[in-house]
Amino acid sequence: MQAKFPKDSRTVMTDLVLPSETNPLNNLFGGELLARMDRAASIAARRHSRRVTVTASVNHVAFNRAVPLGSVVTVEASVSRAFKSSMEIYIDVWIEDRENGQKSKANEAIYTFVAVDDMGKPVAVPPLEPETELEKQRFDAALRRKQLSLVLAGKMKPNDATELKALFTDN
């Protein structure tokens, strides 16, 4: 299978925060932002795999800044690493300053998607080849995150988590 690049899956969705999407503090509901991130991640996973994809897990979400009513929100998602049938999707959320239009990072998340066939069975996905320094950092960290998740779920023995052990031992 031919390797793909993160830019091949890059998905950018921009939208406005409307009153019906806000909490009593007039900020975007967290669940609404999660849904937007899930849609962008789904598109990125599909672009990488060219298959139907399903959300396997939400590995990390950081709500670092509130997103106020009327904000222009941009959700950017791309595959950060591909495994056998799963893909880690890294998501950055940006908001625009109303006055000057400058974007600032508000939130981020990491989702895992699995490519499936018509019967819902996992299928192989193309490998990913990172190009930029940020893509390489996210690619390397993805294996550590996967191993940690497997250890915590009891699906991998801690001694087999080579990437995690490397963080805590001198070589």
Mean pLDDT of all residues in 25-44: 97
Alpha-carbon span 3 to 48, nearest angstrom:
10
CB atoms under 10 Å from CB of 72, counted, come to 16
The pLDDT, as a whole number, for residue 170 is 65
The pLDDT, as a whole number, for residue 82 is 98
Mean pLDDT of all residues in 33-50: 98
> Which distant-in-sequence residues (6+ apart) come within 8 Å of 68 by Cβ?
17, 26, 27, 28
Q: Where are the beta strands (DSSP E) in 64-85?
A: 72-82
Mean pLDDT of all residues in 21-26: 97
Alpha-carbon span 74 to 105, nearest angstrom:
9
Domain ranges in the chain? 6-129
Average pLDDT, the chain: 94
The pLDDT, as a whole number, for residue 171 is 56
**For the domain with range 6-129, which CATH number is right: 3.40.50.1820, 3.30.379.10, 3.20.20.70, 3.10.129.10?**
3.10.129.10
| Greater pLDDT, 152 or 19 | 19
The pLDDT, as a whole number, for residue 148 is 86
Token look-up 């672009």 returns 47
The pLDDT, as a whole number, for residue 32 is 97
The pLDDT, as a whole number, for residue 159 is 83
Mean pLDDT of all residues in 47-74: 95
The pLDDT, as a whole number, for residue 22 is 97
Give the model confidence (pLDDT) of 76-98 as tens digits. 999 999 999 999 999 999 999 87
Give the model confidence (pLDDT) of 103-158 as tens digits. 999 999 999 999 999 999 999 999 999 999 999 999 999 999 998 888 888 888 88
On the question of pLDDT at 37 being above 90, the answer is yes
